[in-house]
Chain A
Amino acid sequence: MIIETRGIGKTFGSVLALRDVSMGVEQGSVTCVLGDNGAGKSTLIKILSGVHQHDAGSFLVNGAEVRFGSPREALDRGIATVYQDLAMIPLMSVWRNFFLGSEPRKGLAFDVATARRVAREELRAMGIDIRDVDQPVGTLSGGERQSVAIARAVYFGARVLILDEPTSALGVKQAGVVLRYLARARDQGLGVVFITHNPHHAYPVGDRFVLLNRGTSLGEYAKADITREQLTSLMAGGAELEELAHELERE
């Protein structure tokens, strides 16, 4: 296990955002975190990425207990997070975004030529074809943005890649593209945490599945132990869904 949580929890004032969640991420495998809105997915990944600190349970990286004070600390331990909404800075060019926070230096200066060249090469190596690395990220499509962010994390030697709902705002085709890069990152030996509320995106790429509901875990399943249908019905609260189907059925 690269990262592991044991009975982790977090409260905000009187709100129990997360209770007793255990999960693990292995090298070269994908752990999917599934849950509906408000299930505690964001809180969990914010703990993993160093934005929040947990106040119950333990969080282990390579078997040693840790508590990150900032996203920088998590990054330094090889845990990179690609956020759904704040992955990139729209008005800045692709290459400036690519190296943001880890700019290559040449003496005192920001080595702009290297940054441009490396960004172009790395994106091409991931199979992402961006015509012009000088264009502002705001002009890229949602899928392209996620892909650039993934390429960036891989380039900077991330060992764990946390993806926060990378496919939820995308169309079918674009989501497929992002899933392909996700698989490519996994094949390069990264541990991937894939947060989503769409079991159809999760099931094909996932190796293990953590289900969250109302801030707590419904269990962690290996792919062999669960079918797509079971996952979907667990995810949506199977009984509720059946009830709804009854309700909506015509007489």
Chain B
Amino acid sequence: MTATAADERVAGVGPLRRLLIRPELGAVVGLVVVFAFFASQSAVFRSPDGIANWLDPAATLGIMAVAIALLMIGGEFDLSAGVLTGTTGLILVTLATRYGVNVWLAMLAGLVVALAIGYANGLIVTRTKLPSFIVTLGTFLMLQGVNLGVTKALTGTVQVSGLRRASGFESARVLFAGTIEIGGTSFRVAILWWILVTAVATWVLMRSRPGNWIFAVGGDEQAARAVGVPAARTKIALFMTTAFAAWLVGSILALRYTSVQANIGIGQEFIYIIAAVIGGCLLTGGYGSAIGASIGAVIFGMADKGIVFLGWDADWFKFFLGAMLLLATLANRLVRRYAEEVKR
């Protein structure tokens, strides 16, 4: 019956098309092009020290981009993620330096606050069905105000510092902000955290039940609900994951610099989203990859440092950002269209 009817309409799916359907493809091409460009211009860029140098911003950006990618695949945005890295850092440094709290306990407090904010974001979005763009824009502005207001009220300035003298600092620094030697080059330990986050996120997405639910709630929430997917719980968990990532990055940066500016993280939220989009995430949800977001972050790390290595004005970075975003979105669209042409 259908067997014969179907067979004659099927063209073979070649390995090329299988490769092209991967969401990361655009990012991989971008990675190769950007690396080739900077590496050919600058010897420092391609040296081990140079690589360690540009992998560092890629790592902290990558941790956030991966979390945001999961959230975007689940069909939501989080504009408060950037400022939340500041909030958690401020909590850590303020508690440890002003109230003599052990660094580890202060980090725990930051984690609790971050998860609560993520939970609140998720709860408001799932309960009210308001666009997460608006809800988290609200959280973003509120956190921005709190960060500045509280810091000013406590210190009279716009930064808190002096974490180095707090108890427990050294052990926390080694784990979150230390360096490791590989072949005579010291790499930031944040790179390991980033690889770990990417690996876990990829596993969850591709090889776990919640991963299937994330794709489903982003692809079509109603359809997912109708087959019994706990859509609201999945989304709330995604917001909390993003908040967790913000806490991790906030803590890493606070421990590294031992001080935190009250306005840190503002504007970063869009860079996370751009990295996720370059990595193949659809703005409309339901499609994307964690590895792709990580590759997107590497592209930014390269451009961020590469422009400096070439001795160009750092302002060009913004131009590069915009151009990459536009190119990536166009490439993704073309690739997906080619790969998913309806076979009639």
Closest chain A residue to B2, Cβ basis: A129
CB < 8 Å A-B pair total: 94
A92: chain B residues within 8 A (beta carbon): 212, 215-216, 219, 286
Instruction: Report if A109 contacts B (CB, 8 A).
Output: yes
Closest chain A residue to B4, Cβ basis: A129
B342: chain A residues within 8 A (beta carbon): 138-139
Instruction: Report if A102 contacts B (CB, 8 A).
Output: yes
B219: chain A residues within 8 A (beta carbon): 89-92
Closest chain B residue to A83, Cβ basis: B226
B13: chain A residues within 8 A (beta carbon): 131-132, 135
List residues 84-123 of chain A with CB under 8 A from any CB of chain B.
86-92, 96, 99-103, 105, 108-110, 112
Tell me, in angstroms, the Cα distance from A198 to B209 when the chains sit together. 39
* Residue from B2, B208, B215 within 8 A of A89 (CB atoms): B215
Task: Determine if B215 and A110 form an interchain contact, defined as CB atoms under 8 angstroms apart.
Answer: no
Given contacts A89-B220, A138-B342, contact A96 B3 (CB under 8 A): no
Task: Determine if B6 and A131 form an interchain contact, defined as CB atoms under 8 angstroms apart.
Answer: yes
Closest chain A residue to B211, Cβ basis: A110
Residues of B in contact with A, size category: 35 or more
Instruction: Report if A236 contacts B (CB, 8 A).
Output: no
* Residue from B10, B215, B225, B340 within 8 A of A96 (CB atoms): B215
Task: Determine if B343 and A139 form an interchain contact, defined as CB atoms under 8 angstroms apart.
Answer: yes
Instruction: Report if B16 contacts A (CB, 8 A).
Output: no
Given contacts A91-B286, A96-B215, contact A101 B10 (CB under 8 A): no
Instruction: Report if B222 contacts A (CB, 8 A).
Output: yes
Instruction: Report if A180 contacts B (CB, 8 A).
Output: yes
Instruction: Report if A177 contacts B (CB, 8 A).
Output: yes
Contact with A along B306-344 (1 / 0, CB 8 A): 000000000000000000000000000000000011111
A129: chain B residues within 8 A (beta carbon): 2-3, 6-7
* Residue from A89, A110, A127 within 8 A of B207 (CB atoms): A110
Instruction: Report if B223 contacts A (CB, 8 A).
Output: yes
* Residue from B2, B216, B223 within 8 A of A83 (CB atoms): B223
Contact with A along B197-221 (1 / 0, CB 8 A): 0000001001111011101100110
Tell me, in angstroms, the Cα distance from A102 to B212 when the chains sit together. 10
A136: chain B residues within 8 A (beta carbon): 340
B282: chain A residues within 8 A (beta carbon): 91
Instruction: Report if B244 contacts A (CB, 8 A).
Output: no
B223: chain A residues within 8 A (beta carbon): 83, 86-89
Instruction: Report if B153 contacts A (CB, 8 A).
Output: no
Task: Determine if B228 and A109 form an interchain contact, defined as CB atoms under 8 angstroms apart.
Answer: no
Instruction: Report if A7 contacts B (CB, 8 A).
Output: no
* Residue from A81, A102, A177 within 8 A of B226 (CB atoms): A81
Task: Determine if B226 and A86 form an interchain contact, defined as CB atoms under 8 angstroms apart.
Answer: yes
B3: chain A residues within 8 A (beta carbon): 127, 129
Instruction: Report if B1 contacts A (CB, 8 A).
Output: yes
Instruction: Give the interface of A toward B (CB within 8 A).
Output: 49, 51, 71-72, 75, 81, 83, 86-92, 96, 99-103, 105, 108-110, 112, 127-132, 135-136, 138-139, 141, 177, 180
Known pairs A92-B216, A109-B208, A138-B342. 13 more at Cβ < 8 A?
A72-B228, A92-B212, A92-B215, A92-B286, A100-B212, A100-B213, A100-B216, A102-B227, A110-B207, A112-B207, A127-B2, A129-B2, A131-B6
Q: What are 14 inter-chain pairs, A to B, with CB distance below 8 A?
A: A51-B226, A86-B223, A89-B220, A90-B220, A91-B287, A92-B212, A110-B207, A110-B208, A127-B3, A130-B6, A131-B6, A131-B13, A132-B13, A139-B340
